[in-house]
Structures are given as C-alpha cells and as structure tokens.
Structure 1
Amino acid sequence: MSAFLELPQLLRLHQAQPKLSQLQALLEQFGSFVDALKASDSQIQQVAGFNAWQMQQITTSFAEPLVAQALAWQADNSGFQQSWLTYWDSDYPSLLQQIDDAPPILAVRGQVALLNDPQIALVGSRNASKTGLANARDFATFLSKQGLTITSGLAAGIDAAAHQGGLQGSGKTIAVLGTGLDRVYPAENQTLARQIAAEGAMISEYPLGTRPLARNFPQRNRIISGLSVGTLVVEASLNSGSLITARTANEQGREVFAIPGSIHNPQAKGCHQLIKQGAKLVESGEDVFAELGAILQLSLSFEADSTPRLAQSQEQSLSESAQQLLQLIEFEPISLDELVVLSKMPISSLQTELTLLEIKGLIEKLSLGRWQRLR
C-alpha cells in the first residue's frame, strides 16, 4: 500500500478519529483505503466497527472540505515544514509503532526525522514549584546535550520548562499536543511552540481544528511515552496527569524515573508513589543517562540498521573530547585507570563520555572496568 497515494482517503477516515485496529480491519478486508471508501456505509460500519458519529464524520459532504483543508495545510510552505505521517509510512517512528494503540495518522510540524531519534519523556505538574521548574530545565538541558531528544506535552509548568531545556542542546525537543496542530494550548506557550516548530517538532494525532477537550490530554500521554525509551516524572501530585504517562510507559515496557522531593511538598507525592511502585529514583541527569545506557544502545543499533543516516553521523556528532577519547580506545580492551591517565580528564567527565560512546554503539563496556572499541 502506498500511504502517500492514499493520503486523501486516510485524511477522510481521520475525521472519524479511528483506532489503528479499525483501519487495519478495513485494509485487510478491502485491500486499500480507496476501495474501502467505495464500499457501502453498512459494509464499512460492519468491518471497522465505526459508531454512528464516526460514520457521520466520513460522509463526503462533511469530510471533503476538511480533507481539502488538511492537504492545503501540508502544501503550505510559507512557514514551517508541515506534513501528515501515517502508520504505513517508512519514516513513522519505530518505537511508537511498537505500542498496541499506535496513532494511525500524525500531523507533524517541524523535523519529521527527529521522531526517530532517541527520546526521553519529561513530564510533571502544571502548577510546579520553582525547584521543580529548575529541575526540569536542568535535566532536559543536560540530556539534550548528550544527544537525547526531550519529549513532552507543551503544558504549562514542567512540560514547558522541559521543552525550554531541550532546545538548549543538540537533541532538541518534541511537543505532543492534545489539540489539532493549528491550535496551541495553553495560549501562553505560543512563542515556545513556534521555537519548537523551528528547531524541533510538534505532533498531534487529532484532525486540524480539534479543540482542547479534557479527554484528549490523557489519551495523548501514551504517545509521549510511546515515542520515548523512558519517562522522567519531575514533579507531580497524586492526581497529576503525569502519573498517566508513567503508567502508559510501564505498560509499554519502557523505563520510568522519578525525582524525589520534600515529604511536605504535595507536588512531590506522585513521584514518591512512583518510586514505591518501582520507578528509579534519580537525582541528576547523569543518573538518568547512566540507567538508559544499555537501552539506548539497543535502540540506536536498531535505528542504525534501518536508518543509514544515523550510522553515518555517529562519529561526526561527537564532542571534541569524546572524539579524542575514542582515539584512545582500541579494539584491544583498555582499563578505566589507563584512560584516566591517557586522557587527563576528570573521572566524572570521563565516565559520562564513555557512556555516550557506548550509547552510540562505538565502544563496549567489558568486565573489570575495561572498554573496547566496536568500529
């Protein structure tokens, strides 16, 4: 199936906000979405299980102007790059494709390629403390400088601070919206949204024009965690929506991290609950980075196999100190003590650089504190 050739039909079906399983059923029964939409309403309803509201949304008279609007939005090159990305496209994010209820269609404003880069979700309270906001920015800045993309939900508070920190590093940031991409909610984040679109990416599973309905935000949280190898909850109360993101991360088999806080701070109780339930307690960006090392190495190895640009750019994207360190590591194992002497780097900086090189699949950690070059 060519998702590009069938985009008008997919955008028509998109107005019904279908589940992936509903579209897969249509594809299996009719062979293409073009042929599916030639079928009678009763056939479509029977095969896909659409309800009455969904059937109304895909009627030609209702959907046709909205499809034209969606295609015009993609063709508009006067501002940011804008495109529709479907589950059947080759550049659909591979990690997101693995979850059970992956969104079948995504609106993307910004860099589509960024969606396949290694990501960590940073989420937390809208009514964050000054300490929480500072932690979100600091953790996001550090992790972005290590090459990780920071993914969050563009909400006020922790989300906004995480995006701001992500923009400070090479990893940049992705915002997952609970509205159509032609709307920004909350309005106070308009400037931040433009910066994210220019340097990172904004995405939404909802059709253009979708308003900020309360039910959409918990639903979009599965995308935030689904894009990411792990989710870090910075600050959250017991009823915070961030705990939904942590739960979906767990259900998707992804790592969950939480920053502890004061026992007297109600905005820390959600994090403490997550830690009691098995989330990893972290106190610095280095803690998160070290925990994710092996996972990210596997993720990057998979991406390198399927996306040649990642493999070709591994060494070019290294910092100068990492490149110098890589020159010291041969295919014969070398000990950490030897690297300390040869590199003349502080042990903390050396360990961070070694982890980065391991994540990029350039070196391998062996037993007894030794390291070996892989390529």
Structure 2
Amino acid sequence: MRGRQGGGVRGRQGERGRGRPTPPPAPGPEGAVTVVRPEDDAYPVALRTLSEPPPLLYVRGTLRPEDAVAVAVVGARRATPYGLHIAEQLGRDLARHGVTVVSGLARGIDGAAHRGALAAGGRTLAVLGCGPDRAYPPEHARLLAQVVAAGAVLSEYPPGTPPLRHHFPLRNRLISGLSLGVVVVEGREDSGALITAECALAQGREVLAVPGSIFAPTSALPLRLLHEGATPVRHVEDVLDALRLPRRAASPAAPQPVALDGPEALLYGHLALEPQHIDVLARRCALPVATVGASLTVLELRGLVRALPGQRYVRVP
C-alpha cells in the first residue's frame, strides 16, 4: 500500500510552531552533537522531499549516503515475544541485505529492530522525540550508544529537550520520511505506529504489515492495515520485493538444513513463529513432556528453536 505525498502530521496534531527547535549553544567539549541544515550535504535527501522538512537536525553519529536505502520497522511498546522475534529478525535480515533500519528507540518493537540490525553489523538510525543526548526510555542508554557507533541518532529537538508527549507524533513523520517503506509489526488500534503509517501514506511511502493472530490485541493494527491494502510481510524477501530492492546472494558458507528424524522431526513440524508452551507441544505431538523437553534441547543446540521465558518455544526462521 503506497500513498501519495500531500498534507502533513503537523496540521493534524496541533499548531505548526509547537515544538519547533531553536538553535542550541555550541556543542560540548566532546563535540558529540552535530547540527545539520537542509543546505548541508549530510542532510538526508529523503527529508528534503517532505512538505515540511525539519529546518534543523541534531545528530549524533554519522549520516551516510547509503542511508537513502532505508526501511522503518515500528510497532508496539508492549510487544509480544512473537512481535519481538519478528522485529529483531527483520532488522537483522534487512541489514544483511544492505538496508539501513530506521526506528524510534522505544521499548518493544523499536528496540528489537535496532538490536537486530546491530547484531548483523548493519546500519541503523534512531529518531528521537527528545534531545539526541537523552536516552528515552532510560534503560536504552546502552542501545543508544550502540546506535551512535553503528549509525546515527537524530532529532528535531536540541540537546537537553525532555521527551514531551506532543513530540512523538512529529517524530513519527521523520521515521517514515527517512524510509522507503514502513513495516508495522505489532500494535493496538490506537498505537502510535498508526501515525507513522499515516505519515508514510501522506509522504508516498510504502506501508507493510506483519500478519498476526486475530485474537491478539497487538495484531489489531497490522490486520487493519492489511485489510486496507498494506503489503503483507512474512519474511525479508517480501519487503525487498515490495520496495524493488536487490537481494544479496547468500554466503556459500551458509549452513545447510539439518536432517531430522524421530521425535525431533515430529516436534519441529508443530513449531511456529508464535510461542507455544511445552505442554501444548506435548499434547499436539502426543508425546510425554520429558521427551518433548529433550527434543527441544536438541533442536535448540542445532539453532532451529529458540527458548523464551515461561517454557515457551518458537521456530527460528
């Protein structure tokens, strides 16, 4: 689902001048924050195409030309293990294909997407609703430092600006504006990710969504977007194809699939990307819990299964 450029989130969210940044004092001795203006070479080309591009960006880290090939991965702060797994996997796989991963450094889906990109040695950009010197949430201070080292943290707001509520809808238009497309992994009907998707449509970007259970509240927004025409995402190839991005050839040294037999083969056939409790797996396989536990250990050692808290397990894509 792709929109046509027109309109802007500022007009829908409040007064045009609200939250507009003012030039800060000179950067501190460490020179960590760079002020980037639209006339500067470092200013992202994608943002220049917006109807209301930010007049100033406060940046920590380095913006590079290759960041023009970027995809946003967004969603719920209170994400499920399923959503966190998908977001991290998408972040990792996009980075492996040379795509910069954009998100908002929030709890849940955002953090998982950043971590996935970092784990693959790729680039990631975090757009904040506060000053670029502030970690929000505070527990993401280490993640913020990692993003600065492997990409960039950027904001419309000068150093020292607190994370005020009205900043975040405006922030979301930059997340979509920096990206060729926005993938919504999870979110309730009223999730902030809806604003990001609406901004993407207004900016002419592609909107994609990850299918989830019709019974899960956090799948309400992706299912709504899919009903309205968003591109479904099952794996990274769906994203690359929708955005007409090239695929990188797999490494010839990549491990080959492991042949399974016996209880492991039966159990693996019942595993899915959605977490399942060991007791549920035992019932579905008609096997003793002890046998299922031993087989899960074998599959986990082979890298085919991931254990989650509460004796729940998911298949590794």
Q: 2:160 aligns with which of 209, 219, 224?
A: 209
Contact 2:72 2:176 (C-alpha < 8 Å) held by counterparts: yes
| Partner SS for 1:112 | coil
Q: Deviations over 1:71-129 (max 9, x none)?
A: 233x624xxx5311001112211111101111110011011226743100000000000
Name the larger-Rg structure.
1
What is the aligned-residue RMSD (CA, Å)? 2.6
Q: 2:30 aligns with which of 76, 89, 94?
A: 76
Describe how 1:190-209 pairs up with structure 2 within 5 A: 190-209=141-160
Deviates more, 1:284-293 or 1:256-265: 284-293
**Whole-angstrom distance in 2 between the partners of 1:85 and 1:236:** 32
Contact 2:189 2:220 (C-alpha < 8 Å) held by counterparts: yes
**Whole-angstrom distance in 1 between the partners of 2:162 and 2:251:** 47
Q: Where in structure 1 are there 5+ consecutive unaligned residues?
A: 1-18, 20-48, 59-65, 298-317, 323-344, 347-375
Contact 1:114 1:200 (C-alpha < 8 Å) held by counterparts: no
CA 216–289 in structure 1, closer or farther in 2 if over 3 Å, else same: same
Q: 1:131 aligns with which of 55, 67, 82?
A: 82
Aligned to 1:282: 233
Percent pairwise identity: 42
TM-score by length of 2: 0.70
Deviates more, 1:272-281 or 1:225-234: 272-281
Higher helix share: 1
**Whole-angstrom distance in 2 between the partners of 1:230 and 1:320:** 23
CA 319–275 in structure 1, closer or farther in 2 if over 3 Å, else same: closer
One-letter code aligned to 1:76: E
Deviation at 1:170, TM superposition (A): 4.5
One-letter code aligned to 2:223: H
Contact 1:260 1:268 (C-alpha < 8 Å) held by counterparts: yes
1:234 aligns with 2:188: no
Deviation at 1:319, TM superposition (A): 6.5
| Partner SS for 1:167 | helix
Q: Deviations over 1:227-252 (max 9, x none)?
A: 00000000111010001000000000
CA 50–202 in structure 1, closer or farther in 2 if over 3 Å, else same: closer
Contact 2:122 2:150 (C-alpha < 8 Å) held by counterparts: no
Contact 1:145 1:168 (C-alpha < 8 Å) held by counterparts: no
Count of matched residue pairs: 239
| Partner SS for 1:273 | helix
Deviation at 1:278, TM superposition (A): 1.3
One-letter code aligned to 1:245: T
One-letter code aligned to 1:72: P
RCO comparison, higher one (Cα < 8 Å, 6+): 2
**Whole-angstrom distance in 1 between the partners of 2:92 and 2:79:** 18
One-letter code aligned to 1:145: R
Aligned to 1:349: none
TM-score by length of 1: 0.59
Q: 2:69 aligns with which of 108, 112, 118?
A: 118
**Whole-angstrom distance in 1 between the partners of 2:17 and 2:195:** 27
Q: Deviations over 1:145-169 (max 9, x none)?
A: 0000000000000000000011123
Report runs of 4+ in structure 1 exceeding 4 Å deviation: 318-322
Deviates more, 1:206-215 or 1:259-268: 206-215
Q: Where in structure 2 are there 5+ consecutive unaligned residues?
A: 1-9, 11-15, 258-317
